[in-house]
Amino acid sequence: MAKQSKLDMLLSRMVDMEHQTVDKNFMGMLYGPPGVGKTTLAMGLAHRLSNGGKVLYVDSADGWVSLENIPSLMHNAIRIPFQEYGDLPTLAAALRDSRTGALEGVNVVVVDELSSIANDVLDRVLRDRIGTKEDEIPDITADWSDYFPQKELIRKAVIQLHEVPDLHVILVAHAKEKTDHRKVKVQKPDFPDKLLGELQKLMHLTAYCTAENSMKAGEVVYTRQVQSQPSMLVEAKSRIGGLPFKTDFASFVSIVADWIAGSQMEQDLINPEPNPELVADEMPADGIPVADNTEEDDEPIIITD
């Protein structure tokens, strides 16, 4: 009887793959060097995804300062300064169980920057190991064993956010340059490799942000772009159909938002089509540049209610 009951439970989870549906909760990561507009892009996308709801902005590095000149990105958004690791699981539980009070209406969370939070967790692990005070920076080099608790704590926190119904999650991270086995310098999100691998499993999109400058009519023009497909020089990931290899900020926001709002997200996640740009062996031997200089004007992020 017990075996039959277990079988019934197993079969109850069986679905017809051709007609199954998926939860349309977006998980994305934006990363890049300082000052390229990651926070602006994250909040612009968050407002498009919020569909009139609130955006919860978890701020670990005073990123909100970059939004002061764009009041529309602070409209209908609430900010919580990050202080300790437990903030993320606590928020995830509150959003899952009851979105009341200040959290009422929140349907998008932006974590800026998760890489800084991961470093804070590693510092805490080191302090616990050597017995330093809470406000002291550990003056030791992390051992391989220190990275396991860091990986598990950050992984579990992101999974808890991922499992909140009807919640979109946008993570922001710094970039790091790492020399891979080919002796080629590659841009990656600034996490230890094993932690990054765990995070990538949850992402619909991991995109690299750049800002290039050029001269036009005697003035410096800043061109911000998002690279959403991997290359020899950039680690990226995209499960979004129709998203170009590179795009400007405004087009990126529109394409991602339309993908989630329409039926294409569900179709792509159920029946993903192979993308030749994701096949490393088909990439040019000399790689694809991280960013190209261009004389086109930078387009503003367009936010609509």
CA distance 222 to 64: 21
Residue 4 has pLDDT above 90, yes or no: no
Asked if residue 301 is part of any domain, the answer here is: no
Helical spans, DSSP H, in 75-140: 87-97, 114-130
Q: For a pLDDT cut of 90, what percent of the chain falls above it?
A: 50
**The token pair that represents 236 in the structure block:** 């990226």
Q: Is 35 helix (H, G, I), strand (E, B) or coil?
A: coil
pLDDT digits (tens, 9 = 90+) for 231-255: 989 999 998 878 899 999 999 999 9
Q: Is 304 part of any domain?
A: no
Would you say residue 167 lies in a domain?
A: yes
Using a pLDDT cut of 70, give the percent of the chain over it: 79
Question: CB–CB of 46/112 below 8 Å?
Answer: no
Instruction: Decide if pLDDT at 284 tops 50.
Output: no
Residue 3: what pLDDT?
57
For residue 114, tell me if it sits in a domain.
Answer: yes
The answer to whether 227 and 207 are in contact (CB under 8 A) is yes
Mean pLDDT of the region 78-89: 92
pLDDT at 135: 67
Nearest-angstrom CA–CA distance, 251 and 243: 9
Query: Where do we find the tokens 């998760």?
Result: 114
Q: How confident is the model at residue 48 (pLDDT cuts 50, 70, 90)?
A: very high
Cα separation, 264 vs 270, in Å, equals 10
| Mean pLDDT, the chain, whole residue set | 82
Do the domain assignments include residue 249? Answer: yes
More confident residue, 285 or 157: 157
Contacts with 204 (C-beta within 8 Å, 6 or more apart), sequence order: 26, 27, 28, 238, 239, 240, 265, 269
260 with 279: CB under 8 angstroms? no
In a domain, 15, yes or no: no
What is the tally of structural domains in the chain?
1
User: Which neighbouring-strand residues pair with 55?
Assistant: 77, 108
Per-residue pLDDT at 77 exceeds 80: yes
Which of 41-45, 267-271, 281-285, 293-297 ranks highest by mean pLDDT? Answer: 41-45
CB contact set of 299 (below 8 Å; sequence gap of 6+): 248, 249, 250, 251
Specify if 146 maps to a domain.
yes
Taking alpha carbons only, the member of 248, 207, 243, 194 closest to residue 30 is 207
Helix or strand holding residue 74 (H, E): helix 71-74
272: confidence class by pLDDT, cuts 50, 70, 90: low
Distance CA 208, CA 189 (A): 8
Mean pLDDT of all residues in 94-121: 93
In terms of residue numbers, what domain contains 66? Answer: 22-282
Lowest model confidence (mean pLDDT) among 78-92, 242-256, 257-271? 257-271
Instruction: State the pLDDT at residue 269.
Output: 64
Find the mean pLDDT for residues 114-136: 85
The two tokens of residue 255 are 């394409």
Q: Would 3 be classed as within a structural domain?
A: no
Q: Which residue has the higher pLDDT, 266 or 221?
A: 221
Whether the CA torsion 188, 253, 205, 58 is positive or negative: it is positive
> What is the domain-level CATH number for residue 46?
3.40.50.300
Who has greater pLDDT, 63 or 167? 167
Does the pTM exceed 0.85? no
DSSP assignment string, 232-253:
SSB--EE--TT--SEEEHHHHH
Spatial distance between the Cα atoms of 119 and 173, rounded to a whole number of angstroms: 11
